[in-house]
Amino acid sequence: MVHPVLRRVLSSGFKSVSLKPHIALQGGVASLTSEHWSLLRECGIRCVLFDRDNTLAVPQNASNEVKDSHISKNSPRADDFFSEGVAASVSACRKVFQDSPAATPRVAIFSNASCNTGVSSTHRDRANRFVKGLDVPLLTASGWYERDAVLPFSDELGRKLKKLGADDFRKPGLAATCLLEGALAERFGVRLEETAYVGDRVLTDVMFANLSGMLSIWTGPLVPEASGVLRGILALERITVMRGARQQTRTTHPLVSHEVSARIESQSANK
Ligand SMILES: [Mg+2]
């Protein structure tokens, strides 16, 4: 049997391997307003997933200099801090992707930092600050982490994931796609094609979203990476995205037209 991701790659004529995002934001997550989320919802997007580090907040491995410049009076640690703009955008997103006041918003965080191991005791405080502060669950390989507890997957999904025999569910691996496919269907009743993935990295977030059939929204990093090698890779990633934008070549998504992508990008750039 052909793996679903490979089948998708073959049937798209390798276009899904593209490193070009469907939407490239100049202003990061904070530039996405209620109007933009609604526009995506009208196109048929029903669920939104966010990367965490350098998309929503300063990463833990950022230099002390960078962290010092992001210390907030509301947060004792820079890497726990998400800006008001980010919090407002995630809050607007929750409202748009919630069918009724009693329904669960179809919004979550999927981060490589915690998807394999779950939330360890050393990272629990940090995870709680995100889950509670933004009011969104964190998806891990063993279940949904929300408010100090893990809500495990159903036995059926647990067995299916175990059968994969994978011990690494990090992006952009195929096991991560299988995890998301099962977990999103079970909790939100949505397909990957109806899901948007928002992240700062091209080689992980964008490629993962494209391979998995999701709408890829690239934010660029919030702050410079600590390692010199990574800074070089990020510069190349930015060149790839900007060259795609200049040439006006876009990866095609079945639900979101190029016109809608361009409209969101230009409004984001002007914010
Ligand atoms: Mg990131």
Per-residue pLDDT tens over the stretch 221-271: 888 776 778 788 888 888 877 776 666 666 789 999 989 999 999 888 776
Quote the ligand 1 centre to 1 CA distance (angstroms): 33
Quote the ligand 1 centre to 128 CA distance (angstroms): 18
Quote the ligand 1 centre to 222 CA distance (angstroms): 9
Burial of 51 (0-12, 13-18, 19+ CB in 10 A): buried
Quote the ligand 1 centre to 111 CA distance (angstroms): 7
Looking only at the bridges linking them, the beta strands covering 143-146 and 149-152 are antiparallel
Q: Is the bond preceding residue 172 a cis peptide, omega within 30 degrees?
A: yes
Quote the ligand 1 centre to 53 CA distance (angstroms): 4
Specify the CATH number for the domain of residue 128: 3.40.50.1000
Domain count, the chain: 1
Structure tokens, 15: 């276009």
Domain ranges, residue 130:
4-269
Which tens digits make up the pLDDT trace of 44-78? 999 999 999 999 988 877 777 777 777 665 566 66
Among residues 23, 6, 10, the alpha carbon closest in space to that of 206 is found at 23
Quote the ligand 1 centre to 50 CA distance (angstroms): 9
Which tens digits make up the pLDDT trace of 7-47? 776 776 666 667 889 999 988 999 999 999 999 999 999 99
153, 143 contact by CB (below 8 A): yes
197, 210 contact by CB (below 8 A): no
Quote the ligand 1 centre to 102 CA distance (angstroms): 31
Quote the ligand 1 centre to 215 CA distance (angstroms): 16
What's the rounded Cα separation, in Å, for the pair 251 and 86?
26
Q: How is 6-71 classified by DSSP, letter by letter?
A: HHHHHHTTTGGG--S-SEE-SS-GGG--HHHHHHHHHHT--EEEE--BTTTB--TTS-HHHHHHH-
